[in-house]
Chain A
Amino acid sequence: MLRYIRAVMAVVLAGSMSACLDLDVTNENLPDRRRALSNADDVESILGLSTWRRWYQPMHSLANIANPFPLIAGEAGTTATVMSVHWAQDPPIPYRNDELASQVWMPRHGYDQWSQCVSNANDAIAQINEGMRIMTTDGEGTTIADNTDRAWSWGKLWQGVCIGYLANFLDRFPIATEETELPLRWEDLAEWERSQMLERNASQHLPLAIEAIEDAIQRMETGDQWQLPPTWVPGQTYNNQDIIELAHTMIARILIYHARTPAERAAVDWDKVLYHTERGLTYDWGPVLQDGVITDPSYLARLNNTGSGSFRISYYTIGPADQSGGYQNWLTTEPREDADRFLIETPDRRITGDTPTSNGAYLRYVTATGGYNTQMGLQYRSWYGWWRRLNYQGANHLAGHFALATADENRLYRAEAMLRKGMLQEAADLINVTRTRGHSVGTTVWATNLPPVTPDGVPEVDGQCVPRRANGECGDIWDALMYERDIELMGIEPTRAWMDRRGFGQLRDGVWVELPIPARYLSSLGVPTYTFGGVGGDGAAVCTAPLTCLP
């Protein structure tokens, strides 16, 4: 018996020793992070392309933000699809944070892509921080430039912008920088994320965004001089100074638009905004659209109207220009589906020509009704479509310079900061730049025909004033600022109207003022699903602005 047991034990031992293959196998097909970031050219490529384009894509390359946000904000209207009506319906309903919902991609792309933008920047910046140098060589291996500063500061800028956009969109989100040591096991990483998602923390992350952009500015100011390769921002070779201006404006944009309510807007660090807008954009920043490089800028594609499309500019945006009383009638018509389109009588030549049915500099009178279904409600209809790009800039949505941040924008941010700081005349001067300047239509240059706004408000001339409030009164200087933003900054950034209006109390009652973490991530992390919006709901707008609301 003993011999038997011994023999069995011996063979078990021998058998176990026979199984001796080394089980550590490397995947030689696709690199992991270590191998992917071992080459300086690849690190530079990630910083150059995989940061800012991740910021750009969800808004401009995909329809998931470009379509709904102008509708949600009341910037545009359409009944092209049931979903279009869903976004803009009155009263607004809560955002359906459900993986099965047809609008599931709307918040997910922003959340995904901006997070990837941050992550890519983190990985590549960490390599540089650990000593990697981005060297450019000639064809024979001789170093001709050290582009480490360029890569680092460009990546850092977009790391900050993407964190800022996450903070401005979402109520909470996890964030890491290049200095954060993330757990390796997905369970641990998920736990780490879960802990960051248990309470609203977006505002806590805002300083991180600003700090990153400021770090970028500092290195651009003190480091080597450089030019961007034209492949990074297609068609452009911006230099240090150009990007520094962009960075300052982006800080202002993020700071101002972070506010969800008028009270938060008032509490913005306006001194900081003043500081940055003083150094902000003096030119219009953005790529030259090229087929195959940056394609389908959906916001432009939808907004750009040649008469055949079904996107029209909402009366929430252009109604304050009206002098006929149509806007006030439109606002007060109940039920809302009976609020039909009306012709705008206005001195603002950006909206119309000399008559309500003639084309303005930015907008065009459109009679086509393609895609509009009267059964779905009349309030989405409008006689006016946007053709500024075609007309003013002479390019359609597939070609030409696409400005993603502009000098006008920077000026109007600065104007708000001045208003907040009591510098009323200085603010009026800035607002009046666009309010009074001429605009070309073909070979014709038209004046805007609006008298300058004063600290006392917009003057009434011949019984006309622009903008006019919901109650028919002439607007004050604040109204003039918002009106100017709505008209001048249209076509730059599809979320601008939503972000701007929530801080001014301009959104309709019930529109969500921030977005929840998409359900797919909450579900994976075991965090209960939640959402925002709906009249009286959590995270829902309350309309208080005199331009769009009656007391």
Chain B
Amino acid sequence: MTPRAILLAAALIAAAAVPAQSQQQTGQLIVNARDRLSGEPLSGAQVSLQGAREAGGVTDERGRFMFPALPAGTYTVQITFIGYGDARRNDVAIQAGQTTTVNFELETAVLSLQEVVVSGVIDPTAGMKLPFTVSKVSTEQLQVPTVNSALASIQGKVAGANIQRASGQPGAGVNIMLRSATSFEGSNSPLIVVDGVIIARDLNRTTADIEALDIVDIEIIKGAAAASLYGSRAAAGVVSITTDRGRNTPQNQTRVSSRTEFGRDFLAGRTPVTHSHHYLMDAAGTTLLNSDGEPVGWGGRTARTVSEYGGGARMMDQAYPGQIYDNLAAVYNPGQYLNQNFTVSQNTESTTFLVGITRLDQEGALANNRGFWRNTGRFSLDHRVGKLSLSFTGAHTRQYRDEISGNPYTSVLTYPAYVDLTRKGPDGQYLQQPDETVEVENPIWRQSTRDNYTARTRTQGSLSARYAPVNWLMVDAQLSYDRADGKEQVYVPKGIPDLTGEESSGGRLDLLHRENNAYNGAVGATFLRQFGELNTRVSARGTFEQENRETFNADGRDFLVTEIRDLTAALTLFDMQSSTSDVRANGMFVDVGLDYKDRYIGSFLVRRDGSSLFGPLERWHTYRRASAAYLISREEWFRVPFIDELKFRYAMGEAGGRPGFAWQYETWLVSRSAGLSKSTAGNPALKPEFTREHDWGIDLIAFGNRMQLELVYAKQHTKDNIIVLPATVISGYNSFRANAGAMEGRTYEMTLTAYPIRRQNLTWSINAIADNSRHTLTEWGRACFWGSNAGRTHEFTCAGEQAGNFWVQRTARSHDELPSWLQDRRDEFDINDEGYLVWVGRSADGTPNTWRDGISTAADAQACAGSAGSISNGCGWGSFFSENGFTYRWGEPFRAWNEEEDQVHRVLGGNSLPDLGFGFGSNLRYRGFSTYLGFRGQLGGKVYNDAKQWFYNQLRHGDLDQMGKADEAKKPLDYYQRGLANGNSGWVDTFLEDGTHLKLGEARVSYRFQQDQLRRLFGSLAPSQLTLGANGRNLFTLQKYSGLDPERGSPLSRVESVGYPHLRSFTMTLDIVF
């Protein structure tokens, strides 16, 4: 056809059309799209009309699109553009013969609901169109990389994510629970996926293997409703991490960037310690005396039993003579923190690659301990050849942690303040035992004499391909590999003096090797098809997983020669063990997505999973998901001011929790000394735990895409919980695991993101989250018992109970709590200034003493003469009586007795879960300046101060310090050690505390130099970006809790044990991009 013929044809068509249009009274519509901040026209934005037959189109280079002839009427104009929030204009009136112009100023998509989500779905899907909950933490909120596990980054940023750390030691992992627990005795940790690679979880502290600096964003699937896609291992949710692949590199450019962060870690907080003692001294308080009144050193010290303080009552109310030392500061001194990252990336039309290396070196704060280092190398490549896309990701991580020998924190504080732990001997070395009366090794010396470490390497690779031969079909395949090698060593050289008897001075070498190989892969296809206004997507996929694990350990003692780390030289070899496991799984699923009129969304999934972890009679299980969303704001009739998007959604999804490797098998124990014996009965019908979740949500975007609010209510019901049951006796086995429990959980979540200020040079954004979760064990297929098979010994395991409950021994606080055999002696008991019920006796004339009389009555042998029964040691502190097998000591608290159960009275003290968890962050940018503050905390919830109980028992806690108190208020050390700490035995209510707190967890201030500034400074060598910054972590905590840090333990067992305290860090950062 010639050009002339074309013109003729066009003219004819136009001629034919004009009368028709004239008859319909048409008008013209011009749509302009610009970036709101820069004012630049946006080319390629998709323009569409609601309620019109006319297909839309994309804007040209001027940011313009024209509908040349629209029938007169009123329209809704909608515009979408990747990277920008959707925009819509209602009631656009087209008048016949006239041109109407609509100008859109699009906001960059900064709200997570406007971003694309890739987790829990087959294809990337806009957050606003998701019918279930997937939370996203973006770069904006990841400005301060976390020091231990990268997953700690989401702490306080994702509603429903409960994250705690058991230890502040460098290289420690984190404990994560999403929403509520789905397993009572198994793991509640989510599945972790990094760039599509399912991370094998068999090595401990897996979360410490992920490098924080590599992360671009983290998506969190919190429950089964969204996690159904992952089937039988996703009941506890999924955390999907996407690392930087260089896609943000400007097209056809190569970018070289580096980031350096350096600074120091400090001990965050200190346990109050006593600075007084209870030993005999001269009148001047300068010299210690023995019982004969002779001056002695600390080695000859004698507990003071002066009569005015009662027989044997030891009151710590005298200052140490001479110099005292701050040993905590000596042992925990600030250590270096260094984190360096270097990447090279290139982005062309067909190829994007990134090569990056990162080194983290964190000394921690413990003297003579090298801390933790991790080196990571990473390579990613995306290549497009026609209709075929190939992606490869490879990562290799090596890490090393200098393990701690003993418990330095407790050792330091076991030494009284008069001992100088930094003192060195004639050989210039620290002393093993600086004070011979303290049977504990100097922790500084101890660290220097051991070589205990954990070393690990991890290699991950993922290869994926996508092929789209036609526009309605895409075929894809993925293969991933994850290999982890671990080595652990405990080494005590031959000849090291043996103080505690823990190790032989003949030398010790314990070696443990672990090897994990995990593969997973998938093959599938996605079909897209439009039927009128109904868009359909059907995906089908087959998956497989295999994970092999091998461990071997051998311990040796009594080496022939010194400085040999070879078990060949050990005279005694014992505890040699090995194990192997092989876990396999197959899966297949079909997912159907429906989108009608861009506002009625539906998604339906069926997955069939088989696993070698299920019993042979229950090999395959089915999981389903049905979800729907209604974008009501896209209805033409929707006219609510300020609301840009409003969505109601509901999802019902099912997911599973897999059994452990050995749980299905019948096992006999094999012992070299005792031969064979039956252990666990097998259960060929063992099923995975099955969770069904209902997830209701409201998603709202308002105020011109400046605010986003997500409200979620989720309810989970888990059945077939796997619990340990006593085996039928006839089988001869002790126990077995069976699906005999059920639990329910519910969660309320609120997530708010807002941009109160959004200008070209000034932006202020805030993020806030709040949540509340509870769960209850609804079925328990065996007799109830105190404790838990999951190691949470503070629980009472029974139907109706909540995981995380603290059942604590009740310390008597009222006269009604006296046992029946003491009720007739009520007046001999008094409630002291700390609220505890204590025995005080009564005088010969029947007048009861009071808790204030501990010292004053001690000198009066008749002061307790009116007490019933036989009183020992006179009266006042140190006196006591016994009845019914119990001893009641003057002035000392004691545990209430449950006579019905014939055991100590336990009460429910609370739960580890907070009443309200919350977090909020503020991000302020002004020109090059930027600040970020990240707060988090909780209201309610309990934390058990196990460390305090331990320090009470060790007589080292500051509460024992009686110096400066009035005599009547003084209490002997037994009051704390025996009366309150119960000899450090059991869970005692005294140490269960309110976990309410507010923590400034992250803070950053930075300045990004402008291009012209850089050119002035560096001329032609100027980098394209240079940013200087300062980071702070764990800066301060407002808390009711009396311990060091309420963020300790695990979500279901908030216990602060004596261990490596959490650290506080201050660092500087330098980011350079060329």
Contacts and interface: CB of A to CB of B under 8 A. Distances in A.
Nearest to B821: A375
Interface in B727-757: 727-734, 736, 738, 740
A123 B732 contact: yes
Contact of A115 (B544, B617, B730): B730
A15 B728 contact: no
B1064 to A, nearest CB: 44
Nearest to B679: A30
A551 interface: no
A116 B732 contact: yes
A478 B543 CA distance: 80
B728 A189 contact: yes
A375 B869 contact: yes
Given A86-B902, A115-B730, A186 B736 contact: yes
B726 A521 contact: yes
B11 interface: no
Contacts of A36: 668, 670, 676
A31 B665 CA distance: 9
A459 to B, nearest CB: 45
B730 A185 contact: no
B1019 interface: no
Contacts of A46: 675-676
Interface stretch (B359-367, B432-440, B581-589, B984-992): B581-589
Nearest to B737: A186
A85 interface: yes
Contact of B678 (A14, A45, A100, A120): A120
A525 B666 CA distance: 20
Contacts of A373: 882-885
A42 B668 CA distance: 12
Nearest to B664: A27
Contacts of B725: 186, 524
Given A31-B667, A123-B732, A100 B523 contact: no
B611 interface: yes
Contact of A100 (B525, B538, B582, B901): B901
Interface string A167-184: 000000111100000101
B584 A524 contact: no
Interface stretch (B333-341, B783-791, B927-935): B783-791
B567 to A, nearest CB: 22
B473 interface: yes
B902 A182 contact: no
A546 to B, nearest CB: 34
Given A20-B586, A23-B619, A101-B901, A189 B730 contact: yes
A27 B661 contact: yes
Contacts of A523: 782-783
B450 interface: no
Contacts of A185: 617, 684-685
Contact of B885 (A22, A81, A122): A81
B783 A79 contact: no
Given A85-B885, A175-B730, A4 B529 contact: yes
A176 B730 CA distance: 7
B584 A376 contact: no
Contact of B579 (A20, A29, A116): A29
Contacts of B472: 4
B1029 interface: no
A182 B675 contact: no
Contacts of A16: 542, 588, 608
Interface in B511-532: 523-525, 527, 529
A445 interface: no
A334 interface: no
Nearest to A102: B903
B882 A375 contact: yes
B726 A19 contact: no
A21 B869 contact: no
A363 B209 CA distance: 69
Contacts of B582: 25
A35 B667 CA distance: 10
Contact of B612 (A23, A86, A519): A23
A49 interface: yes
B682 interface: yes
B590 interface: yes
Contacts of A32: 665-668, 682
B542 A115 contact: no
A21 B544 contact: yes
A103 B901 CA distance: 10
Contact of B586 (A21, A82, A99): A21
Contacts of A198: none
Nearest to A114: B729
Given A19-B610, A23-B610, A27-B662, A186 B683 contact: yes
B115 to A, nearest CB: 29
A356 B524 CA distance: 94
Contacts of A173: 729
A340 to B, nearest CB: 16
B753 to A, nearest CB: 38
Nearest to B668: A36
A7 interface: yes
B580 interface: yes
B729 A521 contact: yes
A18 B901 contact: no
Contact of A19 (B586, B670, B679, B683): B586
Contacts of B727: 186
Nearest to A121: B732
A11 interface: yes
A199 interface: no
A174 B612 contact: no
A42 B884 contact: no
B540 interface: yes
User: Which of A15, A20, A524 counts the most B-chain CB atoms under 10 A from its CB?
Assistant: A15
B580 A15 contact: no
B783 A15 contact: no
A187 interface: yes
Interface in A292-336: none
A219 interface: no
Nearest to B536: A4
Contacts of A79: 885
User: Which of B542, B582, B883 counts the most A-chain CB atoms under 10 A from its CB?
Assistant: B542
A192 B821 CA distance: 47
A81 B665 CA distance: 42
B948 to A, nearest CB: 28
A420 B236 CA distance: 70
A8 B527 contact: yes
A112 B726 CA distance: 10
B908 interface: no
A24 interface: yes
Contact of B902 (A102, A120, A123, A520): A102
Contacts of A30: 662, 665, 667-670, 679
B901 A42 contact: no
B783 A193 contact: no
Nearest to B900: A96
B731 A119 contact: yes
A520 B821 CA distance: 32
Contacts of A187: 685
Contacts of B584: 21-23, 25
The 5 A-B pairs with the shortest beta carbon distances in the complex, nearest first, are A119-B732, A19-B586, A99-B783, A15-B542, A18-B542
Given A4-B529, A25-B582, A193-B730, 18 more contacts: A11-B475, A19-B587, A23-B611, A25-B612, A27-B662, A29-B580, A30-B670, A42-B675, A50-B677, A79-B885, A99-B785, A100-B785, A175-B730, A185-B617, A186-B738, A189-B730, A376-B885, A520-B783
30 contacts: A4-B472, A11-B524, A14-B542, A15-B523, A16-B542, A18-B543, A19-B544, A19-B610, A20-B586, A21-B584, A23-B610, A23-B612, A27-B661, A36-B670, A42-B676, A82-B885, A111-B729, A116-B729, A119-B730, A176-B730, A182-B731, A186-B725, A186-B736, A193-B729, A375-B821, A520-B782, A521-B726, A521-B729, A522-B783, A524-B781
